[in-house]
Amino acid sequence: MRCVAVNTLTLAAITLVYLAAIVVLGWLGYRQTKEHEDYLVAGRRIHPVILALSYGATFISTSAIVGFGGVAAQLGMGLIWLTVLNIGVGILLAFVIFGKKTREIGQRLKAVTFPDLLGKRYESQFMQYAAGLVIVVGMPLYTAAILIGGARFIETTLVIPYDSALLGFAAVVALYVVLGGLIAVMYTDAMQGGIMLIGMTVLLVLTYVHLGGVVEAHNALAGLSSMVPEALAAAGHTGWTSMPVLGSPIWLTLVTTIVLGVGIGVLAQPQLVVRFMTVKDSKAIHRAVLIGGPFILMMTGVAFTVGALTNVYFVQNNGMIALEAAGGNVDAIIPAYINASMPDIFIIVFMLALLAAAMSTLSSLIHTMGTALGHDIWRGIMNAKPSLRASQAGCALMVGVSVGLAYLMPVSIIARATAMFMGLCASAFLPAYAAALYARTPSKNAAIASLVAGASMWFLWTAFVHVKESSVLGLSQAIFGTPALLSSFWQAVDPLIIALPLATLVLLGGMAVERTMPETAEKSQDTVEGEALR
Amino acid sequence: MFGILDPQIWFAYLLALGFTLACVLYGLLNWNAGGDEMRGG
């Protein structure tokens, strides 16, 4: 966002106050971090309000607001189905069905990371290594995407060179993550979540005020359906207040990649799962649900609604739809709208909200990668005792890797990183994670087979079929001479839609086979008796 | 409904608001449930 209309001194002063608050909260985290359990799971004593805001702020990155808000400006209000899943699956299901059990089992087994939880529940070091490896290999790409987005944003708003923005952004976040661990991350997340809430609330209210009211704005948007570009109409776009044609390419992208891919993918995100282990009891989880639902509604619900409505503003003021007004760049729509329509003071508030969204997600990713490397992999291989220093070193190293990737990776791959990482996590982890929480006798072999099958199928579909990624990765072109295999219908289907059911079937099949084996049946009986005695 | 004619869209808005309300009610109804658990699973 370019804040040319905003007084630079005011902007710099507010940014400094924001950074000072971050430093204070980071210092508080540092002071309260005495041992590895403090660093990894915030000492299991986080307040429910902090949990809810931290979970929400980590969940919602800048790309969820600017990127997906821009997609809503392009494709319309159908994106609100993602908000339905964000709240129904990402909060209600995640906290009530997954979160409470995760906390209970995590506390009982003294698990301190997501891979540690899987490893201890399945009594499998391999499971811990494999989950840690997926995080250490897959997450830096997503982290680099967040870093680049944040740096570009700082570059344009504060008018400083890109390299300085990138390195400064990474250094500030690294400082409080490396020193203060998850306590510092969650304290800063909570403050950032509060800023995001203020920013999005003002954005919604001012948008409806600008457009003459709720019903008037929606009526105006519905009246623009004749202005849908021909290429989009041919792909199934029917207008901004209606769903695309069933089964059309836009419908498939909207439903499989955006709504289901991102909506379900959130359930097995290691950086979110670990937050359930930061509270001491289920009461804290219950209370966090009360805040988490409305928070997410005000994030994605507002971003997608306002995103679609930007078309009305640009048509009324510029005579063209939002995509045209932003020069065809979906990511530029929301910033262009804010700059064109909002008062100066709000531009600063929104700038801070976006910076907060980027920092909260980035800090959580660095912490998750660093602890996977330092605690789950390095400590396991060295057979060492849990160590605060190992996790800190892991975090510092992963910051370096992510910054390096941000310079090396092509922008085209970075742009796909968020959806790719969510899909990979759900495909690899979700069935095994669910079974770890709810199976009476979780099967180690079935879980490993499910993780390997899910991750492998996700990779094959991503590299060879789902054209949005395969055309960028270039493997299919190099081996088969075509950007993607199979028909155009399948090329639009997200890898998650194929890999997750496969991983689930492999898990269920493996568990069924194991149940028929005499020694497993005996162990199962022992477990049932053991649980009855507890 | 509210200027949106396609039921697939306004139903999504209703569901989003419904789930939000469910979150609030769940939190309120279980406000003091599950406190001070020492172990679980």
Angstrom CA distances, A51 to A47, A186, A244, stand at 6, 7, 37
A293 touches chain B (CB under 8 A): yes
B13 touches chain A (CB under 8 A): yes
Model pLDDT for residues A312-332, shown as the tens digit of each residue: 999 999 999 999 998 888 888
B12 touches chain A (CB under 8 A): yes
Model pLDDT for residues A338-358, shown as the tens digit of each residue: 988 988 888 888 888 888 888
What is the pLDDT at residue A118? Answer: 95
Q: ipTM of this model? A: 0.90
**Which one-letter DSSP state was computed for residue A438?**
H
Q: Residue B2 is nearest to which of A91, A92, A214, comparing CB atoms?
A: A214
Tell me the domains of chain A and their CATH numbers: 8-418 (1.20.1730.10), 439-534 (no CATH)
Distance (Å, whole) CA A175 – CA A362 = 12
**Which one-letter DSSP state was computed for residue A90?**
I
Q: State yes or no: pLDDT of A413 exceeds 70.
A: no
Q: How confident is the model at residue A411 (pLDDT cuts 50, 70, 90)?
A: low
Residue listed under structure tokens 């540092």: A30
Chain A residue with CA closest to B35: the answer is A283
A245 touches chain B (CB under 8 A): no
Q: Residue A218 is nearest to which of B4, B31, B37, comparing CB atoms?
A: B4
Contact A296, A90 (CB under 8 A): yes
Distance (Å, whole) CA A147 – CA A169 = 8
The more confidently predicted of residues A487 and A524 is A487
A108 touches chain B (CB under 8 A): yes
Contact A166, A147 (CB under 8 A): yes
User: Reduced to 3 states, what is the DSSP secondary structure of residue A281?
Assistant: coil
What is the pLDDT at residue A6? Answer: 61
Model pLDDT for residues A283-302, shown as the tens digit of each residue: 999 999 999 999 999 999 99
What is the pLDDT at residue A317? Answer: 94
Average pLDDT taken over every residue of chain A: 89
- For the ranges A4-13, A82-91, A207-216, A317-326, which has the lowest average pLDDT? A4-13
Contact A94, A265 (CB under 8 A): no
Rg (CA), chain A: 23
Tokens of A258: 């955006």
Q: How confident is the model at residue A501 (pLDDT cuts 50, 70, 90)?
A: very high
| List of chain A residues whose C-beta atoms are within 8 Å of the C-beta of residue B34 | 100, 281-283, 285-286
What is the pLDDT at residue B40? Answer: 42
- How confident is the model over A130-157, as a mean pLDDT? 87
Q: How confident is the model at residue A107 (pLDDT cuts 50, 70, 90)?
A: very high
- How confident is the model over A467-474, as a mean pLDDT? 84
A83 touches chain B (CB under 8 A): yes
| List of chain B residues whose C-beta atoms are within 8 Å of the C-beta of residue A87 | 16, 19-20, 23
